[in-house]
Amino acid sequence: MKTRLRKATLALTATFVALAISELAVRGLGLAPEIFGVPFGEYVTSSDPELLWEPRAGHGSVNQSGFRGAPVEVPKTRPRIILAGDSIAYGLGLEDNETIPVRLAQNLQSMGLDAEVINLGVDGYNTQQEARRLELTLPGLQADYVVLLFCLNDFVPLDSIPEAVFRTATGKGAGKAIGMAYSPPGESPLHRFLLARFHLYRMLSSALNRKPPKVAGRQARIESRSIDSAVRENFGRIAALARVEGVEVAVAIMPKLLRTKEYPPRAVHERVSRMAQETGLAVLDLAEPVLSELHARDERLSLRGDSIHPNALGADLVARTIAAWLVGPPMRIQSKR
């Protein structure tokens, strides 16, 4: 009995040591994907049932108007551009001077247009929240142009927000919501705990779930139509608001920063483009210019372990592409002076 117990203890000890060494190796080499949640120290619960959470005005990089960046200029003396969206627009993982809105203003200035660019992005938002935030803020901003930076995970409807995000958003903004982008709502608390604490578990989980399970063709088409309907409705809300405010809106479709020869989400870009155009919004598909430069460079254009969020180089590339589109024919911004 004692011999078996000793062997079991030795086996458990060896397993623990092996796991600990593996964990340290994965951490040291940066092999695990990053976890991006909504940092609720920077956010507060919103009284609006569609927003759920919003930036904490006057906290850290957020100005008194609730936007990341410098205070809104009063009175308005130059063209004003709104960059709306989720964590990509907000600048998750970037310093204040590296975000797409800041770099957009700098690139426009280098092209001869002095414009104010307001960052309306919010970590974790989808198209419903983005539409609602525009409805609440655009009427008072005297904007000349709105660019909605659409990320491919913006398809996710509100009822698919991870339980941890929803619970924290409705719990007076305390703590930190944890989730890998938008994780399936059925994930267990234990799974989320392990994802947050252990890089080895996160790496293995990511590898095992890289290929999503196949869904029956008919069911997949039904789900796709349902999600598309929600996005189209939210684009319609934005288009209706734009008509009332006399503001032009463009949907800039942000690609996944993949180095693969083929780009699997291309069909998704086409769906988003079609839905935006059907509701009367202009479209700028960033896939070709961004991916072309990605393949031509040796440097990374995304945050480590993440194919969605651009790093400083990627943010500048996106900003340059949007700036060139805005000042090019038909001179969308200059005609608004």
- The string of DSSP letters for 147-173 reads EEEE-GGGG--GGGS-HHHHHHHTTTT
pTM of the entire predicted model:
0.75
Average pLDDT estimate for 283-304: 91
Average pLDDT estimate for 264-271: 91
What the chain holds in terms of domains, given with CATH numbers, is: 67-159+214-336 (3.40.50.1110)
Residue 13, both tokens: 């000890």
DSSP H helices, the chain, are 2-29, 87-90, 100-110, 127-137, 163-169, 189-197, 199-208, 217-245, 266-278, 287-296, 312-327
CA torsion sign for 165, 169, 172, 175 is positive
Q: Is the pLDDT of residue 219 over 60?
A: no
- CA atoms of 240 and 109, how far apart (whole Å): 30
- What integer pLDDT is reported at residue 230 of this predicted model? 87
- What integer pLDDT is reported at residue 336 of this predicted model? 44
- What integer pLDDT is reported at residue 335 of this predicted model? 43
Q: Is the pLDDT of residue 108 over 90?
A: yes
Under 8 Å between Cβ of 311 and 94: yes
Identify the DSSP state of 310: B
Please provide the size of the chain in residues. 337
Q: Provide the residue type at 318 as one letter.
A: V
Pairing of strands 145-150, 80-85: parallel
Instruction: Say which residue, 53 or 22, is predicted with more confidence.
Output: 22
- CA atoms of 318 and 65, how far apart (whole Å): 25
- What integer pLDDT is reported at residue 241 of this predicted model? 97
Identify the DSSP state of 97: G
Q: How confident is the model at residue 283 (pLDDT cuts 50, 70, 90)?
A: very high
- What integer pLDDT is reported at residue 173 of this predicted model? 42
- What integer pLDDT is reported at residue 43 of this predicted model? 79
Which of left, alpha, beta for 331 (phi over 0: left; psi -120 to 50: alpha)?
left
Taking only the tens place, the pLDDT of each residue in 173-198 is 433 443 333 344 445 667 767 776 78
143 by DSSP, 3-state: which?
A: coil
- CA atoms of 191 and 193, how far apart (whole Å): 5
DSSP H helices, 138-263, are 163-169, 189-197, 199-208, 217-245
Instruction: Say which residue, 295 or 165, is predicted with more confidence.
Output: 295
Q: Is the pLDDT of residue 107 over 70?
A: yes
CB atoms within 10 A of CB 37: 22
